[in-house]
Chain A
Amino acid sequence: DQQVKQNSPSLSVQEGRISILNCDYTNSMFDYFLWYKKYPAEGPTFLISISSIKDKNEDGRFTVFLNKSAKHLSLHIVPSQPGDSAVYFCAARRGSNYKLTFGKGTLLTVNP
């Protein structure tokens, strides 16, 4: 049973435009959500996170929105840059258990 779902395997956007990556989850016990970015031949790196008590968190060009009622979160990148081209993983944590459950990832391509 896949508890964290990223239904879009890939996304292509033009440089300067907004990139929106989506993530859905099924476990209402998840209380913390994270986005990781992964370049080829490298390990994933932490990008941004949000607690379930918030609905928005912003860090520079990156904003994560959380809709608990819909069990949906999204990552907005504005403006998108070619260097943002990578695989983005959504992850979720449940309570004090420090394990993360990851989605399958979305490959973002930002075209110059």
Chain B
Amino acid sequence: DADVTQTPRNRITKTGKRIMLECSQTKGHDRMYWYRQDPGLGLRLIYYSFDVKDINKGEISDGYSVSRQAQAKFSLSLESAIPNQTALYFCATSDGPVETQYFGPGTRLLVL
């Protein structure tokens, strides 16, 4: 079984709808991250969490919110989706001291 799972893998929604992307991990890592990937822009950090009680904004957090329900679960919400949030979203986990991040398979989101 995969160490980092994301649901759903693909989602189509309409402008203004609320949507939640979920991430679960079995690696036992404390740190979890949400990124988005856009063509030609690489990976950009949305939010990150160093433990259940610690949540921080990344470089592009506007329009997004997160919830760390447990050490193993980190959810990303789009309260009112807009078309420019169409992207590929990745969840990742890591554990110190080596800063290797382990990524989930991604969620492809299309906002119409």
Contact = CB atoms under 8 A, between A and B. Distances in A.
Q: Give the dominant DSSP class at B's interface.
A: strand
Interface in B16-67: 31, 33, 35, 40-45, 48, 50, 58
B88 to A, nearest CB: 9
A44 B101 CA distance: 9
Contacts of B104: 43
Nearest to A33: B99
A42 B4 CA distance: 12
Interface in B53-104: 58, 90, 92, 94, 96, 98-104
A12 interface: no
Nearest to B105: A43
Contact of A42 (B33, B96, B100, B105): B105
- Say which size band chain A's interface belongs to: 20 to 34
Interface in A78-112: 89, 93, 98-100, 102-105
A100 to B, nearest CB: 6
Interface of B: 4, 31, 33, 35, 40-45, 48, 50, 58, 90, 92, 94, 96, 98-106
Interface of A: 6, 9, 32, 34, 36, 41-46, 49, 89, 93, 98-100, 102-105
